[in-house]
Amino acid sequence: MKKRILSVFGTRPEAIKMAPLVKEISGRADLEGLVCISGQHKEMLEQVMTCFNIHADYDLAIMKQNQTLYDITCNVIREMEKVLSAAKPDVVLVHGDTTTSYAAAVAAFYRQIPVGHVEAGLRTYNLNSPFPEEFNRQSIGLIAKYHFAPTAWAKQNLINERKNPSDVYVTGNTVIDALHMTVEKDFMHPLLDFTGNDRLILVTAHRRENLGAKMEEMFQAILRIATDFHDVKVVFPIHKNPAVREIADRIFSDCSKIKLCEPLNPFDFHNIMNRAYIVLTDSGGLQEEAPAFGVPVFVMRDTTERPEAISAGTAKLVGTEAETIYREVSRVLDDASEYQKMSLAQNPFGDGRAAVRITDILMNRL
């Protein structure tokens, strides 16, 4: 009998990073791959499903505007009970640290179905930062039987937490596999026409703990950078969260050097990042992608669970205060040798074969 693997995800980044794995599993004759989407994200998830041509066998369709953590957690756990009864998987795969992943892991645990955690072992050990993701990933770590750590550092965190070393694997991050599926040499896009010969700063922001005053500070710094540097243009595909949109519209609407746009599909986004001069973000995934392109990334957060990019030299943690962000970014915009140092650093997140490794391990273990 074929072993049945149910992959569960619900947000844009999970879908991008699970896509290579879903594809790899579906190509193995001894495995039956099933996909369940929670629909924690809607439009932003659909973009990824279309881009990677992935079909969902189950859709919990839970998203509502301004959803709370209670909404997501309760709805996913309740709906997953039905999916697990119907699908009867041998293993449930979840990714990273979203509330979909946490709730799906809990639902599998209640049925005593083994959980495989993809992108396991990332830690800040600060439950408030990022919130609620640090809690989510530590909780999934408690439940999971198989831990797929992207790096040796992540593996060590899990070993320090007394996980069984024989259940912890260093696989690389599947995001690098995804980049191998999206990035093209000859890429054209109207947003690149907007940038022209100027230096492109690519911006994203969405973290729950940054919404409000911190995000205002972040955006004020970006406005000042765009105004002060004559050869810089900013492209900011805005997250669908209305709370982010309100602040961005208010602060950026009068600046012609800043282009706000709808979220881009991963194909366009990755190719535009490949051509960016620098990235400014509070995102998790961009801290892995930018180093893969050799694009310096300024992380507008107080903590990071991805210190590898900082050690490698491609990423800088700059917090959320306008003055610090402006100073750090200006230094690199002003100084070509500082820029070179950051852009020549090595990508520490893998070789693009993480999905193959994870699937091989599952074939052996199931």
The site string for ligand UD1 over 306-325 (x = CB under 6 A, - otherwise) reads --------------------
DSSP state of 241: -
260 binds, among ligand UD1, ligand UDP, none (CB under 5 to 8 A by kind): none
H-helix or E-strand spanning residue 259 = strand 258-261
Q: Is 13 in the site for ligand UDP (CB under 6 A)?
A: yes
Q: Is 263 in the site for ligand UDP (CB under 6 A)?
A: yes
Whole-angstrom distance, CA of residue 158 vs CA of residue 122: 9
Residue type, 4: R
> Residue 159, SS3?
helix
**DSSP assignment of 16-53, as one string?**
HHHHHHHHHHHT-TTEEEEEEE--SSSHHHHHHHHHHT
DSSP state of 107: H
The site string for ligand UDP over 288-327 (x = CB under 6 A, - otherwise) reads -x--------------------------------------
266 binds, among ligand UD1, ligand UDP, none (CB under 5 to 8 A by kind): ligand UDP
At residue 201, φ and ψ (nearest 5 deg) are -105, 120
Q: From its phi and psi, is residue 337 left (phi > 0), alpha (psi between -120 and 50) or beta?
A: alpha
Please identify which residue in 7, 38, 40, 320 interacts with ligand UD1, judged by CB under 6 A.
40
Q: Which of 194, 204, 201, 196 is nearest to 225 (CA)?
A: 201
**Closer residue to ligand UDP (CB): 31 or 244:** 244
**180 CB contacts (<8 Å, ≥6 apart)?**
352
What positions carry a catalytic annotation? Answer: 97, 119, 133, 206, 208, 239
**Closer residue to ligand UD1 (CB): 61 or 159:** 61
The site string for ligand UD1 over 231-270 (x = CB under 6 A, - otherwise) reads ---------xxx----------------------------
CA dihedral 253, 255, 258, 260 (to 10 degrees): 10
**Closer residue to ligand UD1 (CB): 92 or 232:** 92
Residue type, 133: E
Please identify which residue in 12, 17, 95, 137 interacts with ligand UD1, judged by CB under 6 A.
12
Q: Is 20 in the site for ligand UDP (CB under 6 A)?
A: no
Binding site for ligand UDP (CB under 6 A): 12-13, 16, 204, 206, 237, 263-264, 266, 269-270, 283-286, 289
Binding site for ligand UD1 (CB under 6 A): 11-13, 40-45, 65-67, 69, 97-99, 132-133, 206, 208, 240-242, 284
